[in-house]
Structure 1
Amino acid sequence: MSTLLAPTPAAGRPAREAGVTLERVSNFGSNPGNLAMYVYRPARLPAQPAVVVALHGCTQSAQVYADNSGLTTLADRHGFLVVFAETTTANNLNRCFNWFQPVDNQRGRGEAASIRQMVAHADSAYGGDPSRTYVTGLSAGGAMTSVMLATYPEVFRAGAVIAGLPYHCTRDTGPFTCMNPGVDRTPADWAERVRDAFPSYTGPWPRVAVWHGDQDSTVVPKNADELRDQWTAVHGLDQTPDRTSTIGPDRTRREEYMAGDGSVAVQVNKVPGIGHGTPVDPGTEPEQCGRTGTAHFIRSICSSYWITDFFGLGGPSARAGS
């Protein structure tokens, strides 16, 4: 079954229009999920760089996500390596990561295992810092980000889920029900699903940022609330935000849930007035990034800037030393 269908196709741009040069990596492991690995390496890459894994949405490609999301702009600025994983129509007719398939969303299996192998290769081949590994993605890639955080919590220090879903929502229902109208479960139930993904693991757990358009009808905003419930419960926190604010030119609404050490364990960002896609803000100012003109890259706020900040790789948080 294919899922996370985009309302309009996001066709890949012709190669001559590609704005970002990616390096294809052919031999990164046994690759049980039959994925492709691409790497973006900034011209000035420090020793032991942080590694950010980026997962595209349905009908997209690694090249499309690299060209439009703005992540490579931040990689150039702050000196981290970006690994773009890519799935194909051989795996899913709509080029969706199979976040809903048991053969792909469990530890040591399928696509999840392939992405884990990409991280290991980035560490060995490019000198990536295993203690600073992060993951983000859109839509099906956002749902697969949830998979990676749950199944490999010891690998990823933090993740950012854009228009995605809680881990293992499909354990007892179908993917389209999870997407819309969404499923309401208790925080304890959601947290149990994460802990069941790696039963012997006791923490520390990845920090999680959630990004969601408040007009998304493909993956409804309810999923942002359920993701909040899942990861606050995993961290042993309640669901009342410790801090609220607005950010960016569109006054995105932010809720933050604080760990005992004062760090932000879970963050929820609801972007006003946009539907299903990655928020971008084309331009050259420090808080701008990304391109529009391709489906599901929506002009509003440069989410990659704020995600990089959440990861501690650049922006206000990094400057403050948090």
Structure 2
Amino acid sequence: MKFVTQLLERINSPTATRRVDNSIQNANIAKIIHEALASAGLEGTGSQGAHIAGVIDDALARAGLLGAEAGSGPRPARPDVIVPAPAPLAGDSIEATSAPQGQFPSRTFKSAAGALAYKLYVPSSYNADTSEPVPLLVMLHGCTQSADDFAAGTRMNALAEQHGFLVAYPAQTAAVNANKCWNWFRPQDQARGGGEPALISGMTGHVSADYRVDPSRIYVAGLSAGAAMAVVLGRTYPEVFAAVGAHSGLPYGAAHDVASAFAAMRSGAAGKGPAPQSTGRVTPTIVFHGDRDQTVAASNGDAIIAQQTAAFGPAALVQTRHNGIAKGGRRFAQTIYADPSGRSVVEDWRVQGGGHAWMGGSKSGTYTDPQGPDASAEMVRFFLQQAGLKS
């Protein structure tokens, strides 16, 4: 057992994840370790082998080196380990129309709710003296990711440069969550006036105070745990956020503790709703989800759509469906729910064969699927058309 102890110590060391080359597949790391166990006669169906394998898998998950698709079956899970499983990288499916040329400084926001570090992309076209108020997009990364990683994977800065909007990337810390997940499942982080919703909303106000931001064009989007928190923000601060983008996320109220969080991720959850939000305004929402997602069940995307369409009132929306093939080769179905004026207020993008990854993203970031439709561009298109909807 001595070598097992040493292995666990190395996996859980503070520098372990920094030493792992991003080009190495997480599943390969797990496979190599399990092959080593097998060669030592410690991998198998016996109780000792199963116990050792389970302990090592838990350590891998703590270090962010084991995704839901690794291994041959379910493994013991931790509540704060909601780790996206990487999709195959087969070349980028989209090309940036303009390279980011603006500024990307690191900033910090502090309030009674706590402190929050974030990065802010300011496009080169922005001028504090002459610019008209511009839109602001808040991007919430997934577990184990960073602001820089998420910006690279989604290419959102290139779109900000093209369209002239600001992008803020709040950064969760390991001190708050061991795997840097947003705590979307805790009751105190699903309510207005406190916790992470208040902190992120406060950061948004901090940016708006320092830059010329159009208050009617502030949006929030995220991946996985970040998507779940984006949905929470749309529900708890609808007067702040004009629209929500949820990629591989969960509905509002999907969980109230760790156990229910994993149950919702695995099997789906109906969530709370569709009661009107605090101001009586329903936040327009666009959802992306792969139908082969093994980390967050695709039925959670269905639940988000059900919440939002019910809140708008099904009779008030006209539904249309389009099927297509992305540049990278993945098929998708786009369902649009339009209001009486013809404006899309809810959209559901379901990607065939897609896993738990940002569709159409760049291989320069983690947890992306370059073969899928361009989620970033479609979210920006959806967000910018919502101008004037805020009450």
> TM tier, shorter chain?
0.7 to 0.9
Which residue among 320, 341, 345 is the counterpart of 1:261? 341
Counterpart residue identity of residue 290, structure 2: G
Mapped to 1, the partners of 2:168 and 2:112 lie a distance apart of 15
Quick one: structure 1 residues 129 and 293, their matched pair in 2 at CA, closer, same or farther if it must change by over 3 Å? closer
Does structure 2 conserve the Cα–Cα contact (< 8 Å) formed by 1:229 and 1:239? no
Does structure 1 conserve the Cα–Cα contact (< 8 Å) formed by 2:146 and 2:171? yes
Q: Which moved more, 1:239-248 or 1:270-279?
A: 239-248
Determine whether 1:25 maps to 2:96. no
Counterpart residue identity of residue 264, structure 2: C
Residue in 1 aligned with 2:41?
A: none
Mapped to 2, the partners of 1:258 and 1:94 lie a distance apart of 38
Which residue among 360, 363, 366 is the counterpart of 1:295? 366
Counterpart residue identity of residue 292, structure 1: K
Which residue among 217, 229, 235 is the counterpart of 2:312? 235
Question: What is the count of residue pairs matched by the alignment?
Answer: 288
Quick one: structure 1 residues 62 and 268, their matched pair in 2 at CA, closer, same or farther if it must change by over 3 Å? same
Shift of 1:93: 0.3
Residue in 2 aligned with 1:191?
A: 274
Mapped to 2, the partners of 1:47 and 1:297 lie a distance apart of 34
Mapped to 2, the partners of 1:33 and 1:278 lie a distance apart of 29
Task: List per-residue Cα deviations over 1:88-128 (Å, max 9, x = no partner).
Answer: 10110010001111222211111111111111112110111
Which residue among 211, 217, 224 is the counterpart of 1:126? 211
Counterpart residue identity of residue 23, structure 1: P
Aligned residue runs from structure 1 range 174-185, under 5 A: 174-184=260-270
Counterpart residue identity of residue 123, structure 2: P
Q: Which moved more, 1:83-92 or 1:236-245?
A: 236-245
Structure 1 counterpart SS, 2:160 = helix
Shift of 1:234: 1.2
Runs of 5+ in structure 2 lacking a partner?
Answer: 1-78, 87-99
Quick one: structure 1 residues 236 and 177, their matched pair in 2 at CA, closer, same or farther if it must change by over 3 Å? same
Determine whether 1:83 maps to 2:168. yes
Mapped to 2, the partners of 1:118 and 1:152 lie a distance apart of 13
Quick one: structure 1 residues 149 and 184, their matched pair in 2 at CA, closer, same or farther if it must change by over 3 Å? closer
Shift of 1:32: 1.5
Structure 1 counterpart SS, 2:378 = helix
Mapped to 2, the partners of 1:135 and 1:96 lie a distance apart of 16
Cα RMSD of the aligned pairs, angstroms, is 2.5
Seq. identity, %: 34
Determine whether 1:276 maps to 2:368. no
Task: List per-residue Cα deviations over 1:37-82 (Å, max 9, x = no partner).
Answer: 2100011124211000000000001110111211111000000000
Mapped to 2, the partners of 1:20 and 1:7 lie a distance apart of 31
Q: Which moved more, 1:28-37 or 1:228-237?
A: 28-37
Mapped to 1, the partners of 2:102 and 2:80 lie a distance apart of 29
Shift of 1:24: 1.3
Mapped to 1, the partners of 2:202 and 2:118 lie a distance apart of 10
Mapped to 2, the partners of 1:102 and 1:278 lie a distance apart of 27
Mapped to 1, the partners of 2:230 and 2:289 lie a distance apart of 14
Which residue among 218, 235, 260 is the counterpart of 2:295? 218
Runs of 5+ in structure 1 lacking a partner?
Answer: 9-17, 281-289
Task: List per-residue Cα deviations over 1:261-290 (Å, max 9, x = no partner).
Answer: 22112100011211001112xxxxxxxxx4
Structure 1 counterpart SS, 2:215 = coil
Quick one: structure 1 residues 4 and 239, their matched pair in 2 at CA, closer, same or farther if it must change by over 3 Å? farther
Shift of 1:31: 5.8
Does structure 2 conserve the Cα–Cα contact (< 8 Å) formed by 1:31 and 1:113? no
Residue in 2 aligned with 1:98?
A: 183
Shift of 1:214: 1.1
Structure 2 counterpart SS, 1:174 = helix
Which residue among 375, 383, 386 is the counterpart of 1:311? 383
Q: TM-score, normalised by structure 2?
A: 0.69
Q: TM-score, normalised by structure 1?
A: 0.83
Aligned residue runs from structure 1 range 86-165, under 5 A: 86-165=171-250
Quick one: structure 1 residues 19 and 276, their matched pair in 2 at CA, closer, same or farther if it must change by over 3 Å? farther
Quick one: structure 1 residues 34 and 262, their matched pair in 2 at CA, closer, same or farther if it must change by over 3 Å? same
Mapped to 2, the partners of 1:162 and 1:206 lie a distance apart of 16
Determine whether 1:207 maps to 2:289. no
Structure whose CA Rg is larger: 2
Shift of 1:84: 0.6
Shift of 1:305: 0.7
